[in-house]
Chains A and B, each alone.
Chain A
Amino acid sequence: MEGFVKVLRKMFRHPVSIAGIILVLLFLSIAIFAPLLAPPAYPWNPYMMPQSGLSAVPQPPSPQHIFGTTQGQYDIYYGVIWGTRTALEVGVVVIGLALVIGILIGTLAAYFGGWVDELLMRITDIFLAFPFFVGVIVVITIIGPGITNVMWALVIFYWMTYARLIRGSILEVKENQYVMAAVALGTPGGRIITRHLLPNSIYPVIIQASMDMATIPLTAAALSFLGLGAPVGYADWGQLASFARNWIITPSGGNPFQYWYTIFFPSVTIVLYALGWNLLGDTLRDILDPRMLI
């Protein structure tokens, strides 16, 4: 606990870290308070964006739709707010599961070494042999589109990064004599892993995970953009971007940026979101250095 307070104190020493933390906190609160910020139109399925017409032409910001509407009259503001929830949900679920699988496999491989290591790492290599995006798309084509299936497909092809990272890290930590000292004291294997190996090797993984909180939801958004993710009308930044793609430059001539709002609000949101997690990752990298922590 004291350690945690220290980490916080260090975080707040640099303005850049503060910016990262504020951004991440901002998105977290948007996700939490989404029902207040943008009351759902269909309470039984709040993720569906309210549609205020069927016109194919986007409408500029107005008191009813402060960020304007997309083609098909979906409210951009609503999409941005509830899309935050989608993004965080995707991130937490996918990265959480990938972490569990990756840490388990990487730790076992590094701790036992020998054939266990050989076997687990070969399996990891097999998964790594698929190009990430191709693999994910193939799996989605097999199990069908939809936000849940997208998450599964991402987990299946993402845990390897963590497995490798934690394995390398543990192999390094294992060389320290305190691990041998623990054996000499009769400490059981499980405790050696949880008390000595993981605490000293988990940080690179946490940093990586924080960076991935920026990219994984964007990958999911990209899949939605391709039509493989969320169904039409689902509050998701990928959807918003996908709706905007025909309106970035006015299709019919005249003022080329007449429909700026269709792409402006979603992309600013996405950029800020990615920036926030990246800054947080950097901050963690700085402060989790074992010599500086504690």
Chain B
Amino acid sequence: MTLAEVKSIQTTQNQSKNDQILLEVKNLKKYFPIKAGVFRSTVGWVKAVDDVSFYIKKGETLGLVGESGCGKTTVGQTILRLIEPTGGHVFYNNVDLFKLSKGQMKKYRSKLQMIFQDPYSSLDPRMRVKDIIAEGLKAAHIGNTKERYEKVRDYMQRVGVSPTYMNRFPHEFSGGQRQRIGIARALVLNPELIVADEAVSALDASVQAQVLNLLDDLQQEFHLTYLFIAHNLSVVRHVSDRVVVMYLGKVVEIANKHEIFSDPLHPYTKALLSANPIPDPTVKRKDRIILQGDVPSPANPPSGCRFHTRCWLAQPICAQEEPKLEEVHPGHFVACHFWKNLEDQNK
């Protein structure tokens, strides 16, 4: 391929960036059984993810935020079929991943990568760092040992862990260093889609900036697509093109980031944004919305709108009728009966 050809491909890709859907999640469900008693029989289901739909366009970063325990990690892991779904479809380049056999799925493994939330339990304590990072390459039969370690060195450098540490074991690293090892492990395979589950939450601000810049560079260079799960809203705002907000296993709002941050239309989104801590000791936030009531359990979610037990805009109908996820403005989806009230408030 000549350089001009590469260029032209890239431009067509860039043009199609806005319409080509890389991954589409449809009615995704994942229920975990609750077991109890001596015989560990199933007494109920944790509806960790309950009828979730969204799509990710090629080359974009989709932020995924929400309450702890609302099912973000579960969404990420079922998409990659690291845990088996209860129902729904995931189309990757129009192929339904859930219909593939385990063997067929292998082909997609290196294209779909995950950065795990917990940098402690996601690294095998008995493997050296170089072997941890090279594991995917080895599984995909890429290169010989020497070439693989060469790549390992390169990626360790890129994520900011000195390659002189490659012979060490994970417990000899700090939390942030481990997280970067996990990032290197995912990146080294040149994937197309990366599910980054709290990829930077263990990092200090300056390394976080480095890693976010790195993810950004790689996106530019290889046209990567990210599903970016995070709690830190300032970070989500910085990296995302669009943002999905979840509450208790359901999507409550989807919009591009400017709208989410300046004009949230779901009360939960609004509360979430107001809780974002500001790095300034002299500012005492007055607009903070402290949510009342217990966090409900996904095993026994409230009727109607799942947020109604804590929502300050709730009306009687909210407890009876579940609001549908509707497109209220182009590209802005929200699941609330009274989103208009909030829109007026925002103005």
- Complex contacts, A178 vs chain B, CB 8 Å: 121-124
Chain B's nearest CB lies how many Å from the CB of A117? 13
- Complex contacts, B123 vs chain A, CB 8 Å: 178, 181
A185 in contact with B185 (CB, 8 Å): yes
A184 in contact with B127 (CB, 8 Å): no
Complex Cα spacing A38 to B46, Å = 70
Chain A's nearest CB lies how many Å from the CB of B245? 25
A184 in contact with B114 (CB, 8 Å): yes
- In the complex, the chain B residue whose C-beta lies closest to that of A291 is B171
B122 in contact with A181 (CB, 8 Å): yes
- Complex contacts, A184 vs chain B, CB 8 Å: 80, 82, 109, 112-114
| Chain B interface size, under 10 / 10 to 19 / 20 to 34 / 35 or more | 20 to 34
B135 in contact with A182 (CB, 8 Å): yes
- Complex contacts, A199 vs chain B, CB 8 Å: 124, 126
Chain B's nearest CB lies how many Å from the CB of A51? 54
B121 in contact with A185 (CB, 8 Å): no
A181 in contact with B114 (CB, 8 Å): yes
- B218 interfacial by beta-carbon distance below 8 Å: no
**Dominant SS at the B interface?**
loop
In the complex, identify which listed stretch (A15-23, A108-116, A142-150, A188-196) lies at the interface while the others stay far away.
A188-196
A188 in contact with B139 (CB, 8 Å): yes
* Given A177-B118, A186-B110: A290 touches B126 (CB 8 Å cut-off): yes
- A226 interfacial by beta-carbon distance below 8 Å: no
* Given A177-B121, A181-B114, A291-B171: A186 touches B126 (CB 8 Å cut-off): no
- B33 interfacial by beta-carbon distance below 8 Å: no
- In the complex, the chain A residue whose C-beta lies closest to that of B197 is A177
- Complex contacts, A291 vs chain B, CB 8 Å: 125, 171
- Complex contacts, B169 vs chain A, CB 8 Å: 294
- A52 interfacial by beta-carbon distance below 8 Å: no
Count contacts on A: residues with CB < 8 A to the other chain: 21
Within 8 A of B (CB), among A175-209: 176-178, 180-188, 191, 195-196, 199-200
Interface residue from B117, B126, B127, B135 paired with A185 (Cβ < 8 Å): B135
Within 8 A of B (CB), among A136-185: 176-178, 180-185
- Complex contacts, A181 vs chain B, CB 8 Å: 114, 116, 122-123, 182, 185
Chain B's nearest CB lies how many Å from the CB of A196? 5
- Complex contacts, A294 vs chain B, CB 8 Å: 125-126, 169, 171
- B275 interfacial by beta-carbon distance below 8 Å: no
A187 in contact with B139 (CB, 8 Å): yes
- B256 interfacial by beta-carbon distance below 8 Å: no
| Binary flags per residue of B134-170, CB closer than 8 Å to A gives 1, else 0 | 0110111000000000000000000000000000010
- In the complex, the chain B residue whose C-beta lies closest to that of A294 is B169
Interface residue from A177, A186, A196, A200 paired with B116 (Cβ < 8 Å): A177
Chain A's nearest CB lies how many Å from the CB of B184? 12
- B255 interfacial by beta-carbon distance below 8 Å: no
20 contacts between A and B (CB under 8 A): A176-B122, A176-B124, A177-B121, A177-B122, A181-B114, A181-B116, A181-B122, A183-B82, A184-B82, A184-B113, A185-B135, A185-B136, A186-B106, A186-B109, A195-B127, A195-B135, A199-B124, A290-B126, A293-B126, A294-B125
Give 12 new A-B contacts, CB below 8 A, not counting A176-B124, A178-B124, A182-B135: A176-B121, A177-B116, A177-B121, A180-B122, A181-B116, A181-B185, A184-B112, A184-B113, A185-B110, A195-B124, A294-B169, A294-B171
| A contacts, CB < 8 Å to B | 176-178, 180-188, 191, 195-196, 199-200, 290-291, 293-294
Q: Which 8 A-B pairs have the closest CB atoms?
A: A186-B109, A185-B136, A177-B122, A178-B124, A186-B139, A177-B121, A187-B139, A199-B126
